Amino acid sequence: MDYNSLSGIDKCAILFQVLGEPLAVSFFAGLPKDQLRAIRVRSAELSGQIPTAIKKRVLDDYNFNLLQDQYRKSKPDSIKLFEFLDELTAEEIFYLLSTEKPTIAALAIDQVSNDKRIAFIDKLDAQTKNNIILELGNLNDIPLEMVVNIARDLEEKAAHIPASKEFSRGGGKKMADILNNMDEEEASAYLTQVQTSDPDLYSDIKKYYLTFNDLINMSEDIASDFWTNPDIDIDVFAVSVKGLDEEKTNSIIDIMPKKKQAMYQAIEKPMPKNEVMEARRKLVDLAQQMINSGDIKIEDIIGGSEQEMID
């Protein structure tokens, strides 16, 4: 069966098979009853004869035509498809488009202001810049369906821009807030990448971001202020130091009140990693509460910690 030989009624009949009659009828509600009846009859005649590839092409063509109709009615000006880009800063646009294919990046930056377009291009390496500039001259070759799909895909991605979006508005503090809501290992991996790629940003984040590693490496005077806090649960502490060097653990225990020292029991059995991470998070949260209340300063805590995170 050749797709190009199918008549209009054949394609409608195939849609009836693919979509099912109740759904298909709703799409052809404006047709006269005699035409609907003819489509039903033709659908029955073609039953079992239509290859899957033909069915897929008929459905794709129908979706494309439907998309075009909706587009013409709701999007008379194609630039409105990319209206969401107007709300993004230059940093956010770079974050969104720098890893996209040259065709997609070129189409998107063609929709933004000249200032944002230049800012984006200036940040690219020479080869990528050249590829995107060349694509800017061939945008008329992109079919409408692809333009619509690209716009929708980018709009969805833009709605989920993570740290870059926050950083452009609030610097290291905003990024620290995001990291504080991540799993400690995930946050540590992300922070390591930032440390390598942007040392200045890393330093800014560390002004606000606290880790368990910071707590166990505090200077002696600050450690005394924290580890004597009566709100520290000794059982939570025991879980948090699972896998920690025994000498380091003992040095912390020595700071604690005598009563808690007596209550402490090292956990010998294996512990699920997520339970250890959760216990550490509770202690970090307690330290953050003390910082917020002014009992200690984060600068004093992180001043003594330059070591890598403990696995």
Every domain of the chain and the residues it spans: 3-74, 78-158, 163-206, 212-302
SS3 of residue 158 by DSSP: helix
- Return the number of other C-beta atoms located less than 10 Å from residue 143's C-beta: 9
Alpha-carbon distances of 214 from 17, 190, 284, 308, rounded to whole Å: 64, 17, 9, 10
* Topology, domain 212-302: Annexin V; domain 1 (1.10.220)
Looking at residue 175, its pLDDT comes to: 76
What residue type is assigned to position 173 of the chain?
A: K
Kindly indicate whether the domain formed by 163-206 is annotated with CATH number 1.20.5: yes
Q: Which of 187, 228, 183, 185 is nearest to 206 (CA)?
A: 187
Reported pTM: 0.42
- Which one of 77-91, 166-180, 220-234 scores highest in mean pLDDT? 220-234
Looking at residue 171, its pLDDT comes to: 64
Judge whether 163-206 and 212-302 match in fold: no
Please provide the average confidence, as pLDDT, over all residues in the chain: 80
Kindly indicate whether the domain formed by 78-158 is annotated with CATH number 1.10.220.30: yes
Looking at residue 307, its pLDDT comes to: 39
**CB-based contacts of 308: which residues, under 8 Å, 6+ apart?**
213
Confidence of residue 306 (pLDDT cuts 50, 70, 90): very low
pLDDT higher at 306 or 293: 293
Which DSSP helix (H) or strand (E) runs through 186?
helix 184-197
